[in-house]
A = this chain, B = another copy of it.
Amino acid sequence: MIRFHGYFRSSSAYRCRIAFNLKGTPTDFVSVHLRKDGGQQKTPAYRALNPQALVPALEEGDFRLTQSLAIIEWLDETQPGPKLLPADANLRAQVRAFAQVIACDVHPLQNLRVLDCLKAEFGADQAALDAWCGRWITEGLAACEALLAARLATPFCFGEAPGLADICLIPQVFSAARFGVSLADMPRLRAIAETCNALPAFAAAHPKNQPDWEA
């Protein structure tokens, strides 16, 4: 059984949960509370698993893996269930690029450690942090909308079934709402988010449906 270390609110862990659900892969969940005990991700035991002291991390026997996109592609390549990446090399590359807009250029800028640093080093208050996060989320999601606008409209980002791009999009849309970012100019993303969130695999992965959820 795969052991999965995550946290309800982490966008990266949320991505992995959607992927596990879409693939139908059972996991043994371990909660790593990012705000308790000075951050449970910073303990020596967790750092031995993930030297970045970030969630998520995955264990299967002696095998250990970090980074949500690597985890999701590994899952897709080694586990049964519907494919999360397309078979066509050109389309697969564009799906990865879409996912990386979010996973490289949006989400890491709003990570807890980054916000903590902005507070400590630059005296940023909550309004400044919200503006910081809002700026990168708006820029990134607008680019995602533009990447999709160049393609025929489909129920999911890149076709008739959910995949890696949708898996990255939905947690970022959740986080956009948290930071008060408007998706008014992103009709395609809004429609896809509505479609995804109605599916059990996405709904069950939502932060509020996790055992470690806190309001």
Q: Which residues of chain A have a CB within 8 Å of any CB of chain B?
A: 47, 51-52, 54, 63, 65-67, 69-71, 73-74, 77-78, 89-90, 92-94, 96-97, 100-101, 103-105, 107-109, 111, 114, 117-118, 121-124, 128, 131-132, 135, 139-140, 142-143, 146-147
Contact = CB atoms under 8 A, between A and B. Distances in A.
Contacts of A47: 146
Contacts of A97: 65-67, 70-71
A100 B135 contact: no
B108 A135 contact: no
Number of copies of this chain that the complex holds: 2
A73 B51 contact: no
A104 B104 contact: yes
B143 A100 contact: no
A4 B107 CA distance: 26
Contacts of A74: 89-90, 92-93, 96
Contact of A65 (B66, B69, B93): B93
A154 to B, nearest CB: 18
B54 A105 contact: yes
A84 to B, nearest CB: 14
Contacts of A111: 105
A128 B96 CA distance: 34
B52 A105 contact: yes
A65 B94 contact: yes
Contacts of A103: 100, 104
